[in-house]
Amino acid sequence: MAATRLNFEQWRTLVQKSPTRVADQFLTRLQALSKFERQSWFASTPFKQQLLQTLKNAAANQNHPLACVPYLLQDMFDVKDMPTGCGAPFLSQFEALSEESSLLYQKMDRLGACFFGKTMPAEFGVDPQGRNLSNGDCKDSNGEQYVCGGGAGAAVRTVSEGLVPLAFGLDTGGGIRIPAAFHGLFGFRMANNAYARDGVFPITPSIESVGWVNNCITDLSTTFRAFHRVSKFYAADPPRGYLISELSSAVSPDIKSGLLSLTRELNIDDDPAIGTRLRQTLSKGSTAYQALAARELYSIHQYWVEEYRDQYDPALLKRIQAGIDCTPQTADASAHIQECIRSAFTEFFDDYDYLILPISPISTPEKSVWNDSLEQQILQLNAPTSLAFLPAIILPFACPEGRHSAAQVIINPHKLKVVAGLLAQLTGYYEH
């Protein structure tokens, strides 16, 4: 298990052979982390006996789709008899133990997966860099100088480090997509559903979504099929897609090169008129997202922010203040943009099965280059998917100097069966 990333089948073999050894090795790896790393990665983990019993139960029943697969949840999801801390800077409001587990936890239990603990979110799951001033910033696997990214960055980091092969988090505005891209991992952002509402502390309730990360395309396909019962993909022609390599802000040559390499394997249309129409609408998504998210943030935090103002991250306070300052006219204009984006996707999906966009304009960024402009560019690329409640596959590609990035393949929600077709097309690309 060391630092090697094991796939689902390898984990199953280990659990079947010796649940005790798997539990001991996981806990040993936790103990080997520095105090800072444990605090910035993990919010809570089960006791050894709980973990061991979970593994033994899974080993005894191998008929479930995700039997014996260890996984982690971002600490925004309720797990019975554990607190849901949300990465909050003031703990008194978040010490109570949950009386019931979230719908996602219950689903994973039925699928036979093994719960290994909760990862530390960015403060209330909001920060696109993945920062948490109270518990420490989770470091990127490439090095301390790099941005980990996203509200669920610690969840992604644990998969990158091989601690588990599967982790879940909220992907409201890119909480899973951004760190998955920076770490070069596979994943999936679900469409709007109850997993993001039942037993979850909200970020932006109206557009909340759940995402997950895997370390290989085969495990991505297995996880997708566990959640989405779609018939096996059969078609005379492969799914039809379109690539937009940038919106109004330019992306780096590395990102364009990675996207082109990936899309050579796919059936991509090149009608420039399609791209022009979509860019005009989708490029407005970041400003609409910010206004709508700020208003909902304020509605969630309006009472706490007065009492605990001095403990909030100033960057989060600024977002909440934007919600206070947002006028009804601005909110209406933002809602109109959201509706235009949703309509544009509806029209697009009349002719196409998926749209490919980059997740970031640059590969794994160093902290020194992160600024408001870069943050806006990343939001511009990720906001349209969020505002339209759409599912998306996360497909990574390597960049120079050991850095990473990924494409988001935005799927027609009424044609989820094309996911299986796309992953089948790309398996050879990733395994050669």
Domain 1-267+352-432 has CATH 3.90.1300.10: yes
Whether residue 233 is predicted with pLDDT greater than 60 in this model: the reply is: no
The CA-atom distances, in angstroms, between 195 and each of 74, 108, 269 are 13, 11, 34
CA distance 119 to 43: 5
pLDDT of residue 238: 83
Distance, CA of 383 to CA of 206 (rounded, Å) = 13
pLDDT, mean of residues 376-397: 97
Could you tell me if 129 and 148 are in contact, meaning their C-beta atoms sit under 8 angstroms apart? yes
Say yes or no to pLDDT of 31 above 70. Answer: yes
Name the helix (H) or strand (E) containing 203: none
Q: What is the average per-residue pLDDT within 219-244?
A: 85
Number of helices and strands (H, E) in the chain? 16, 11
Sheet holding 267-269, edge to edge: 42-44, 114-119, 70-74, 166-170, 210-214, 186-189, 392-398, 404-411, 354-358, 240-243, 267-269
Instruction: Give the whole-number percent of the chain exceeding pLDDT 70.
Output: 98
Rounded-to-integer distance, Cα 287 and Cα 302, Å: 22
What is the reported pLDDT for 1?
A: 37
Domain boundaries in the chain?
1-267+352-432
Give the tens place of pLDDT for each residue, 206-228: 999 999 999 999 999 999 999 99
Q: How many Å apart are CA 213 and CA 412, to the nearest integer?
A: 20
Q: What percent of the chain has pLDDT over 90?
A: 91
Mean per-residue pLDDT, 180-209: 95
User: Are 240 and 347 spatial neighbours (Cβ–Cβ below 8 Å)?
Assistant: no
pLDDT score for 384: 98
Arithmetic mean of pLDDT, 26-41: 93
pLDDT at res. 432: 73
Nearest by Cα to 220 from 4, 26, 427, 406: 427
pLDDT, mean over the chain? 94
The single-letter DSSP state of residue 368 is G
For residue 3, the model assigns a pLDDT of: 57
Residue 25's SS3 state is helix
Quote the pLDDT of residue 61. 83
CB atoms within 10 A of CB 183: 28
pLDDT at 231 over 80: no
Is 147 in contact with 365 (CB distance < 8 Å)?
Answer: yes
Of 169, 179, 141, 221, which Cα lies nearest the Cα of 406?
A: 179
Q: Are 185 and 159 in contact (CB under 8 A)?
A: yes
In this prediction, residues 309-322 reach a mean pLDDT of: 96
- Give the phi and the psi of residue 309 in degrees, each rounded to 5: -50, -40
DSSP string of 267-301? Answer: EEE--HHHHHHHHHHHTTHHHHHHHHHHHHHHHHH
Tens of pLDDT, residue by residue over 258-272, are 999 999 989 999 899
Q: Return the pLDDT at 4.
A: 85
For residue range 404-426, what is the model confidence (pLDDT) as tens digits? 999 999 999 999 999 999 999 99
Average pLDDT over residues 153-158: 96
Residue 81 has pLDDT above 90, yes or no: yes
Q: Quick check: 21 pLDDT over 70?
A: yes
Q: Three-class SS of residue 168?
A: strand
Amino acid at 229: R
pLDDT digits (tens, 9 = 90+) for 108-132: 999 999 999 999 999 999 999 999 9
Q: What is the mean pLDDT of residues 342-348?
A: 97
